Amino acid sequence: MSAPSTPSLPAAAAPGRTLAAWWQALPLTTVFALFFLVPLALIVMVSFWDFNEYELLPGFTFKNYIAIFEGCSNTSDWCVTFKTYFSTFKFSFLVWLITLVVGFAVSYFLAFHVRSSSVQTLLFVLCTIPFWTSNVIRMIAWVPLLGRNGLVNQTLMGMGTIETPIEWLLFSDFSVVLAFVHLYTMFMIVPIFNSMMRIDRSLIEAASDSGATAWQTLWNVIVPLCRTGIIIGSIFVITIVMGDFVTIGVMGGQQIASIGKIIQVQTNYLQFPLAAANAVILLAIVLMIIWALTRMVDIRKEL
């Protein structure tokens, strides 16, 4: 009669494998801690410090957070902080909506209307050409086009369409949104295109065989299966636009406010604790937006 065999531990539970997994994660964990957690902790700490014209005063005070929302208790009119956040949310929403429509349309064309994989690759690379140059150069390129004496105004006046130059083409909300869409649409195209390429084409054929129209197939089959890509692209676009200050400064003619712009100005005037408090509030809002978006899908399936 043979002795009963002792059950062996699963491979994943073996001590050696567990220790090796920790060692493999250590470099990335160290980089994440040094370049993200430590700077973030310093920003939070400095946001509670006091300051004057000459130096920072380490301590613990809510003075900076109170100063940010000073005057916001008046219900008859919005304070500067609320107006600035509203402007930032407005740009984020408009850019998100436009990039979503454009990104979805481009991705749909590449995934379902271009049959050749080589042509798909070629067209996809063409979409990335704007990223071969600096963001600042791409923004400045709009100035000679949209300016008062720019190409657009000169062409419209030459055609007799307008008699005087259009003022709102440059240094306005329109130019800021246009520059944002130009700069960040690719962040929406890539994840949506990746999701569309994973869709089983037999599902689309089954929907067509069941009598579904093109719009019904798009809305009931393709869009739900692309939801993860849409959420990832939305996170990219919204988080970048929420913290951007260069695009708003250049294309808005330094006349349009945003939270990122306020933080930049406060940093230039050496008001580091006040800028840190604004950064903490902005980070908290962005994290809440990301949390709400990630509740809709399981992003780990896409990754």
Domain assignment present for residue 169? The answer is yes
Q: For 122-133, what is the mean pLDDT?
A: 82
Q: What pLDDT, in 10s, does the model give residues 214-268? A: 888 889 889 998 999 999 999 999 999 998 888 898 888 888 889 999 999 899 8
Considering its fold, how many domains does the chain have in total?
1
Domain assignment present for residue 22? The answer is no
pLDDT of residue 201: 85
Return all residues near 11 (Cβ < 8 A) that are at least 6 apart.
17
Domain assignment present for residue 17? The answer is no
CA distances from 280 to 42, 150, 240, 242, 287 (A): 11, 40, 16, 13, 10
Domain assignment present for residue 262? The answer is yes
Q: What pLDDT, in 10s, does the model give residues 175-197? A: 999 999 999 999 999 999 988 98
Range of the domain at 249: 81-302
pLDDT tier for residue 1 given thresholds of 50, 70 and 90: very low
CA dist., res. 251 & res. 176, Å (int) = 5
CA dist., res. 140 & res. 210, Å (int) = 51
CATH (domain of 115) = 1.10.3720.10
pLDDT of residue 57: 87
Residue 12 tokens, joined: 């994943």
pLDDT tier for residue 277 given thresholds of 50, 70 and 90: very high
Domain assignment present for residue 146? The answer is yes
88, 259 Cβ separation under 8 angstroms = yes
Amino acid at 168: W
Which range (55-64, 94-103, 105-114, 129-138) has the least confidence?
129-138
Percentage of residues in the chain having pLDDT higher than 90: 36
pLDDT tier for residue 288 given thresholds of 50, 70 and 90: very high
**Mean of all residue pLDDT scores within the chain:** 86
Domain assignment present for residue 162? The answer is yes
pLDDT of residue 49: 92
Q: For 118-138, what is the mean pLDDT?
A: 83
Residue 242 tokens, joined: 């929420």
Q: What pLDDT, in 10s, does the model give residues 5-51? A: 555 545 445 566 777 778 888 888 899 899 989 999 999 999 999 98
Residue 86 pLDDT > 70, yes or no? yes
Domain assignment present for residue 54? The answer is no
pLDDT tier for residue 278 given thresholds of 50, 70 and 90: very high
